[in-house]
Structure 1
Amino acid sequence: MEARVEKLEDFATETRDRLVKIESRLEQTAANVSALQVEMHKGFAEIIKWMVGIAIALGATGITVITFVLNNATPKAPAQPPIVIYTSAQPPVAAPAPKP
């Protein structure tokens, strides 16, 4: 009977030592996880910043291209000579010749 009790005491001592090692590893793991969370938060913030910047740049570029295309897609109509209204008191003046 004493041999069994001695074995149990040895097992309890060994278990206590293993538990201390496991707890120290758990503390190290918790520290590593918290450091990883901080690093991931910084990374996500940086990615969001770049995505917003790229979206703004692409929007501005798109508006610029569309404006350029719409302004230059069709040929310009020739300018018409101004309409001149003469009263009966003034002699008529020859209108300028239209430009080709």
Structure 2
Amino acid sequence: MIARRPVLSLLVLALVLLAATAWTNRAHLAAFPSIISAYTAKEYCSCRYVMGNAADYCQGYVKQYVPTSGFLDDAEHKRVTASGLGRTSTAVWVSPHQGCRLMPEADSLH
């Protein structure tokens, strides 16, 4: 079969290798959607409440190629919630010395 259909054989081999790579990295691939919202929430919180920058500047600072679907900056409580790729993450300002920290997943769901 390989001699008669080399292109199809290479395509099947490439798909098998891709599937094997995805399987061995499944934990990393599963964590990826959370990275988008967590990065946005944590970095915006640090930019805004630790460094004291303007909101417009911090929006540009955390902008990514993968867009976020939701964003909430609660200035009164110094709490930032960002959503992206189906995940929601919340970062909250703790203190001047500790900065911002991500809230555990159960606490960040509203």
For the pair shown, which has the larger CA radius of gyration, 1 or 2?
1
- Alignment TM-score, normalising by the size of structure 2: 0.33
Structure number with the higher strand fraction is: 2
Structure number with the higher helix fraction is: 1
- Alignment TM-score, normalising by the size of structure 1: 0.36
